[in-house]
Structure 1
Amino acid sequence: MREHMVLFITTFVLTLLAIFILIPVANRIGLVDKPHGRKQHVGAIPLIGGISVFTGVAITLSVFGLPGDTHWYYLLCGGTIVILGVFDDFLDLSVKIRLVAQVMIALVMMYGLQLYVGNLGDLFGLGAVGLGYVGIPFTVIAVIAAINAFNMIDGIDGLAGMLSGVSFVSLTLMMGIGGQLEHAVLPMVLVFALIPYLMFNLDLVGKGKGKIFMGDAGSMLIGLSVIWLLIVGSQSDSASFRPVTALWVIAVPLMDMVAIMIRRIRKGQSPFIADREHLHHIFLRLGLNSRQALVVITSLAAMLATIGVVGEYLMVPDLIMLLLFLLIFALYSMSLQYIWRITRFVKRYKAKQRAKKNS
């Protein structure tokens, strides 16, 4: 335990130092997010959260390492996705370039882990559903989905960091209890790397002068890290949880991405265009401020992840866990279809309450 605390504290300190060093560098070279269009923040904000997190994690893993030498492949894939994200932050890369790079990263990840999603679990009560070699393209799609789910939901301060924190803590618990103690270290290393980022991103230090954003480099790194751990935790010989549980660990980002993409396709739009229809935008239109929306969405993610973890250790049948997840997703999707009516109803109700108070 003592050596683990040294590992975690080292990650925290290195990430914190990276933030202090990279803020002036980002301002000097123009790696900043300026307010325009959908972005309503004040001033140019350095996009160095993801680079700082990766720096802290990379140096820590290079010194302490992880079992089986898989950390070198993780650092290779993570470093590549961070570089891709930095170029995207600078140049706003096309969707095709990003997707090609993400496919290549997914293939390297599978080669490094010697794993892919080849088993979906006992979804129908008839035995494990094996994918065979179909699992390879399935895994590529899963990697792209996870990367872009966290990238898409990174819309208000702290959201991507907090949601990934929920996922990483859930993975640590399941891997630790399930016997994958050596693999449980990485998600906690990532948690301790995220803490300094959240301190600056949420203005808990610096009083606004040290504010930073995660950038595409950070949100894509988080998505890659989550899917990396989900595959290790559900597909390896020493798997600590079932594949269906993975859905609950990333429930909010996954449901938000899929529902939004389906809605865009129905409108005849590209599923990758940016808009203001995500879950956090809905809460903001309902009258919550960004901090309140952060608390509500994080609480929702924690609740869903808890259902997954509890269902895993009570051995609730895979089919029931899947159907329950699909039911919640269906309710979420239906809510999106009627969100404008819900928003108008809430606003009218609030207006009536204010009128009663003033009368």
Structure 2
Amino acid sequence: MPNAFLMNYWPTISCALLGMGIVMGIVPLILRPTVLAKLSHRWRDLHHTHLKPIPRVGGLALAVAFLGVELLAMVMWPGQTQKLPVRWVVLLSSLAMFMLGFWDDLKPLGAKRKLLGQVLIATAVCAFGVEIQQFTVPFSATILPLGGWGTLLTIFWLVGMTNLINLIDGVDGLAAGICLMLMVLLAYVGHQGGSFGLLASGMAGALLAFLWFNFPPARIYLGDGGAYFLGFQIGLFAIVSSHKGTVFAALIAPLFALALPIVDTVLAILRRGLRGLPIFRPDRRHIHHHLLNMGLSRRKVVLSIYAVTLVFMLMGFVAFWSHGNLIPVLLGVATLILLICAGKLHFSRNWFAVGRVVGNSLEMRQEIQYALTLMHWLAFEGKRAHSVEELWMDLVFAAQRLGYNSVRMTLADGERAWQQADAASSTHRAVHTLQGGRFGTLELKAVVCLDAKYGAESPLKCGKRFCPCVSSAKVFEIVSELLAEGWVKGLSALKMNETAPARFDDQPAVAVNRPHPRHSIFSNSAPAPAAHRQPDISQAGTSR
């Protein structure tokens, strides 16, 4: 019996061990101090939960493991490999998706360019004949040919899975662990499908080894390259592992396993769209952020989500075993589990807040889009500023335009503060410790003065004029994050020392083609108009 088991599963075990060994060999090389110093430079995302710079190139080790496993499967078990064209399509398209994300890790491309690249790669896959061609109707033997709709469905599936894995990669070990479960599921689904079951096994082994370095506290991250690579492979393996082109059971299994991330992502897209934010812009309102805010450690957060995902993955196995016949029962159980999680983990209010956002969406969108414009302006001003002191003045100007009445920034060499004259007592306060304090600590205060259309009081008055104010508490929270993000991006554009904490007297390493020093955003030859003049800035202290 043991010999029969080894004979049947020896290729699967060998591929898993090879993937594991390659990752265990490559990641320590990446973590060498000399390499680490060059790869840890991109540390500008306000929304990640880590407190120190960590390399975002873990996808490189996974890509090399994928190549090694593919070579082993092709040489050692040629009888279990698919037709040559399909194998090359899977190999080259997966590497192309990895390169797109890896390029973004090294030099940000922007959401539109990345989405265009993803669509082009998915379209190329369809052009070479790897697509969803027909669909089996559940509870019957009816097979529906999809024709041109199959191409559109394939592109949507591949691009959606690619971005879904990237969106859940927000806390140490989360995306890698979920992808490990999915690769195990796909290895089973593709066990009769040739080399792609072996590839899924190899990637499962590689991810198991990667979690040794990625589990909290993480020493390396997947990065966009790794997340894109894994998400695209999960979608692609589900298609090519299906039998005779009927993909219902093969697609529904990973959908069940990803039920929790899918619900979280859909609500995130709705939340951002209704508030006027780019739908691919990261935020700190995902499920794992709620759990962190509840006081759970990163390990407990990851293990909690693992447990729920494991339950859904077992449902995926059942869906595949039953050829889709138990889908209604499984959907009912999945819905019940999601509702229980929403109640027990205390994030149900945020999940079901979409309806409340719709009511004041227009007013909220206008204010947030104005804040987005000022955030991009502040980030661009970092390329023009001659010192951090000048960028601080721009930050104060942006905060004043957005209705804040107090701003305080603490850096390594002291702090600066500005406060609106005759300001009313602030009702809301936000403090952002930026990049573990390396980019400073920003404190913002404002009066939230709502009028009747927001369901609250009219703006307060300061003497004979209205106080500067922010329209609502939710807008205050979002706009405060945007100002903090603009400050981080502005400092990064200033090309300051990448490792040392920021100081007010920091200057760019290269000041070529920068404008002359300025004391406001307006021309030095004439004072700014009274209505738009840069606010007076007082130094609250020169040392801590």
Does TM, scored on the shorter chain, surpass 0.5?
yes
**SS of alignment partner, residue 184 of structure 1:** helix
| 2:237 is the alignment partner of 1:225 | no
Counterpart CA distance in 2 for 1:143 and 1:332 is 30
**SS of alignment partner, residue 134 of structure 2:** coil
Counterpart CA distance in 1 for 2:259 and 2:87 is 26
Instruction: Say if 1:27 and 1:309 are closer, same or farther in 2 by CA, change over 3 A.
Output: same
Counterpart CA distance in 2 for 1:196 and 1:242 is 26
Per-residue Cα deviation, 1:220-275 (whole angstroms, up to 9, x for no partner): 11100100111123364486935433421332332222221122223333211110
Tell which structure's C-alpha radius of gyration is larger.
Answer: 2
**Residue 106 (structure 1) shift:** 0.6
- Letter of the 2:53 partner, please give it: A
Look up the match of 1:84: 100
Which stretch of the first structure deviates more once superposed, 292-301 or 262-271? 262-271
Instruction: Say if 1:63 and 1:42 are closer, same or farther in 2 by CA, change over 3 A.
Output: same
| 2:50 is the alignment partner of 1:50 | no
How high is the sequence identity, in percent, across the aligned residues?
22
Look up the match of 1:309: 317
Look up the match of 1:186: 199
Which stretch of the first structure deviates more once superposed, 267-276 or 146-155? 267-276
Per-residue Cα deviation, 1:302-354 (whole angstroms, up to 9, x for no partner): 11121121133234536626853884698499876613999xxxxxxxxxxxx
Per-residue Cα deviation, 1:85-113 (whole angstroms, up to 9, x for no partner): 1221122221111011101111222344x
Which stretch of the first structure deviates more once superposed, 125-134 or 252-261? 125-134
CA contact (8 A) 1:248 1:308 kept: yes
**SS of alignment partner, residue 170 of structure 2:** coil
Look up the match of 2:147: 132
**Residue 143 (structure 1) shift:** 1.0
Counterpart CA distance in 2 for 1:239 and 1:36 is 38
Pick the aligned partner of 1:162 from 150, 154, 177.
177
Greater share of residues in helix: 1
Look up the match of 1:338: 349
Look up the match of 2:388: none
Pick the aligned partner of 1:288 from 282, 293, 296.
296
Per-residue Cα deviation, 1:58-91 (whole angstroms, up to 9, x for no partner): 1331343243233332221122122111221122
Pick the aligned partner of 1:272 from 256, 261, 280.
280
**SS of alignment partner, residue 136 of structure 2:** coil
**SS of alignment partner, residue 276 of structure 1:** coil
Which stretch of the first structure deviates more once superposed, 237-246 or 73-82? 237-246
Counterpart CA distance in 1 for 2:41 and 2:207 is 19
Counterpart CA distance in 2 for 1:324 and 1:128 is 25
Counterpart CA distance in 1 for 2:227 and 2:70 is 20
**Residue 130 (structure 1) shift:** 4.1
| 2:242 is the alignment partner of 1:234 | yes
CA contact (8 A) 1:180 1:238 kept: no
Instruction: Say if 1:137 and 1:333 are closer, same or farther in 2 by CA, change over 3 A.
Output: farther
**SS of alignment partner, residue 83 of structure 1:** helix
Counterpart CA distance in 1 for 2:292 and 2:140 is 42
**Residue 184 (structure 1) shift:** 1.6
**Residue 23 (structure 1) shift:** 2.8
Counterpart CA distance in 1 for 2:166 and 2:71 is 26
Look up the match of 1:353: none
Instruction: Say if 1:239 and 1:132 are closer, same or farther in 2 by CA, change over 3 A.
Output: closer
**Residue 200 (structure 1) shift:** 0.9
Pick the aligned partner of 2:21 from 13, 34, 43.
13
**Residue 161 (structure 1) shift:** 0.6
**Residue 299 (structure 1) shift:** 1.2
Which stretch of the first structure deviates more once superposed, 213-222 or 62-71? 62-71
Which stretch of the first structure deviates more once superposed, 34-43 or 212-221? 34-43
Instruction: Say if 1:340 and 1:76 are closer, same or farther in 2 by CA, change over 3 A.
Output: closer
CA contact (8 A) 1:120 1:243 kept: no
Query: Would you say how many aligned residue pairs link Structure 1 and Structure 2?
Result: 334
Instruction: Say if 1:302 and 1:119 are closer, same or farther in 2 by CA, change over 3 A.
Output: farther
Look up the match of 2:87: 71
Counterpart CA distance in 2 for 1:75 and 1:91 is 24
CA contact (8 A) 2:73 2:195 kept: no
Pick the aligned partner of 1:109 from 119, 125, 132.
125
Matches within 5 A, 1:241-256: 241-256=249-264
- Letter of the 1:62 partner, please give it: L
**Residue 2 (structure 1) shift:** 3.4
- Letter of the 1:157 partner, please give it: D
CA contact (8 A) 1:8 1:188 kept: yes
**Residue 131 (structure 1) shift:** 2.8
Pick the aligned partner of 2:213 from 176, 179, 200.
200
Look up the match of 2:156: 141
Instruction: Say if 1:244 and 1:3 are closer, same or farther in 2 by CA, change over 3 A.
Output: closer
